Amino acid sequence: MAGARVSIRHEDFDLGAEVAALREGDGGVGAVAAFVGTVRDRSDGRSVASMELEHYPGMTEAAIEAMIDHAFARFDIRAARVVHRIGELAARDQIVLVVVASAHRGEAFQACEFLMDYLKTNAPFWKKEATDAGARWVDARVADDAALARWGIEAGNAAPEPPPAKG
Amino acid sequence: MKVDVRYFASLREALGGTEAVEVGEGSSVGALRDALAARGGRHAEVLGRQKAVRSARNRVLCAESAILGEGDEVGFFPPVTGG
């Protein structure tokens, strides 16, 4: 849907079309940074054929909208969009797109990485891999919490106990 | 009062997707989790304190100290793994 900042869907996305749509009608854009996440065919030494992506309908969209609001408050950016796929995905499929437009490159690079770090630890998605040794739910990584901490935000997603109360 | 509990991922596989639960006025999300785990069986296995469980109140991530209101939707799920 044109203009929507967040799209959670089964269908694939086209990076070129997404970048063009984000820039459309804004001559002040001088930089576009994009991140595309894809399904690896190996994970922890096992061969991965496909994965199932589950989400929390309603909450996922609202959570990512709030992250984009946060990015706008923090960086001088002109537009941002996040596309995240759900359902069954095959190895090598695209999973997630974060694309940010700004006047100059620094803000676009930073906001793109910020949004991705935020999404990894705070957007309600869960991956279940189908491997050569059976299906398994993917474990959260402490490294992803550390990535968000660099922006001064505590995640605690991968910690054994829940994160402390937020203000 | 009643709250609507929703489970996701491995918790959904163990417990089903939703259940309506009766809780006392002023109960916290953590107290609800403990009351569900106290049922034993699968509830204890996946909601017990030995497990990493995250929670949301009315579709916003919350601490377990969050206080519940009538008709709230409470989500329980494992740490998130999107992106």
- pLDDT number for residue A162: 54
Give the pair of three-digit tokens for residue A134. 């059976």
Encode pLDDT of B13-63 as tens digits: 999 999 999 999 999 999 999 999 999 999 999 999 999 999 999 999 999
> Chain B partners of A138 at a C-beta cutoff of 8 Å?
81
A59, A64, A161: best mutation site toward chain B, by most B Cβ within 10 Å? Answer: A59
Domain boundaries, chain B: 2-77
**Closest Cα of chain A to B77: distance in Å?**
9
Closest-CA residue of B relative to A162 is B54
**A164–chain B Cβ distance below 8 A for any pair:** yes
Bridging pattern class, strands A134-137 and A125-131: antiparallel
Residues 6+ apart with CB under 8 A from A164: A154, A156, B63
Give the pair of three-digit tokens for residue B70. 């009538």
Residues 6+ apart with CB under 8 A from B7: B14, B15, B16, B17, B18, B75, B76, B77
Q: Is the ipTM of this complex over 0.90?
A: yes
Give the pair of three-digit tokens for residue A43. 């994970």
Residue A10, CB half-sphere, CA atoms under 13 Å: how many? 3
Contact B59 A59 (CB under 8 A): yes
**Sequential pLDDT tens for chain A (167 residues):** 446 999 999 999 999 999 999 999 999 999 999 999 999 999 988 999 999 999 999 999 999 999 999 999 999 999 999 999 999 999 999 999 999 999 999 999 999 999 999 999 999 999 999 999 999 999 999 999 999 999 999 988 998 765 555 44
Say whether domain A6-149 belongs to CATH 3.90.1170.40.
yes
Phi and psi, residue A123, nearest 5°: -95, 130
**A152–chain B Cβ distance below 8 A for any pair:** no
Contact B53 A62 (CB under 8 A): no
Q: Which of A163, A156, A65, A159 is nearest to A115 (CA)?
A: A65
Domain boundaries, chain A: 6-149
Task: Please state which CATH number belongs to domain B2-77.
Answer: 3.10.20.30
Three-state SS sequence of chain A: CCCCCEEEECCCCCHHHHHHHHHCCCCCCCEEEEEEEECCCEECCEEEEEEEEEECCCHHHHHHHHHHHHHHHHCCEEEEEEEEECEEEECCCEEEEEEEEECCHHHHHHHHHHHHHHHHHHCCEEEEEEECCEEEECCCCHHHHHHHHCCCCCCCCCCCCCCCCCC
CA angle (B47, B66, B45) in 5-degree steps: 0
Contact A125 B60 (CB under 8 A): no
**pTM for this entry:** 0.94
> Chain A partners of B79 at a C-beta cutoff of 8 Å?
139-140, 157-158
CA–CA distance from B44 to each of A140, B10, B28, B32, B68 (Å)? 21, 13, 18, 12, 21
**B56–chain A Cβ distance below 8 A for any pair:** yes
CB pairs under 8 A between A and B: 94
